[in-house]
Chain A
């Protein structure tokens, strides 16, 4: 897969973290390929992360996923060095984070990255507006400006009117909106979100996901998002990395993860996903099998017979015009010879949107004998989805 050639915004190389009093012993065993459990048993040291390599592109939502204890929080806290690594390198926008002094690190945290926490991490003794402006306060920005900016972000997350409340007086969803506003308020390019929505109930969570997607459409931040929920990962992620026992099992686009799980662990993850809801038409579509460019009936019939297809897709100057069935052509020929123009035999094309979920297009594909064209809002033809494609995508485990 040819990913963009530009340098990734965040680059992680050989990152390892061992918790315990003698990390070097554990590092040695990591080098020898021992597993986390073996190392814990042999040395009493906990391996948090095991030689992680990652590339995160500017402007994407990069999701890190894994079961509890797999090292997600440990990994994300390395980006802003809330945790010191045992070994390895992290480069952010060309800066080697490991080489920063305490003062430089403070500046880096103030301007480069901000963070949203699972349990919100709000200051309980500060009002909502003070919480949102906290990052600016730390930077020493004066109060009136702080309030102005914080107020605007509070508006943006839909919490205007709550300025003078204390966090304890808000619901969980509202608190996390404050957390999000606080993170956005510093204008940092990179947003770290550690299970930011996990503490919320499903309805609020999906609302927050929508809000995040909407904000991201506007702001184009680089978001590193932690979750243990695959649906959330598939919904938000441009790329997903799957962590297991401190090791990366697989990195890829959501569909790669879903359709081509790298190992049994990922597969187990993926198994319970409702694919009909997650997979979309553009993922399963194929190029049209029988592409007609000639309006001559006989020509078309010959092509269809040659390719053993019952339906043909007519294009004119690369624009999709419609579908014609072999039976209709044959009937027409036997009835009236070759007088009629192919255009007149075109059926009214049924089409689906490339982003439509399989769940949505399934009735359409089942209701029509031909593969349904996939067409964008602008009328661009992308491909076709057949009944068979949809069903195999829903049932198949490995691509």
Chain B
């Protein structure tokens, strides 16, 4: 009585899974080295593996190398959280040449970028929430290597945001107030500089983006340029290295997308369907990042936490059968 049931279920599940396996096969997912992207990558891996029978594997990635590699070499298959503003031209070209497919927004609200100051400074002096206030109090923000100058921590060299931050620095004429660009060298350097300022409640002014663990942990205020966001100006000039005469604009919310290679989208249509639906709200992601931060969790643990505790969020992304399989696999963790 028992044996046939087991056999049957094996047959059935085999039947159900095998087409997906055949479709999907080996899938590489870029695991970017920041927490939100790593969380999403891990969620994708788990769901693709257990829900869609893909042979999913995480590979280390970063915005530029991953984007370029996907266009040029068709690898990895999925970039689950690509800040595509910075790669706009390359992605457009990839899509046009039928090498890439944009599945949807991974952060539905888009990512935030901007110039930030610590909350504790604004609490003391609300004027610092505006660029006029910052320029007026430039002396507060000491340059790390020269006491007579003020420092603006820009985006690390080689990152795309370096161009936009540089152009805005120019547009805001921060130099006239004694500011100099401070290149933190790397993401770690930038985060370290913020962490150092916060442990000692020192002044800090610089570029950062959200949602991030850093902004989840260190409460910062986005400085208002008083200009509103001019997407046109931003696209044509602010993000361009050749921009001669940059104008002041707030960062428009960045498009944060799930991008796949065309070959993946074609061979694994069901899985691609999941990626089209999968997206986080910023509020949600902030909450998750806060948890990650609190528990010093890696992407894998964060994924487990998310899938186990936020069923309502992810269930709508998949069919009931897939959800069942994922839940079964979750129970086995």
A and B touch in the complex (CB under 8 A): no
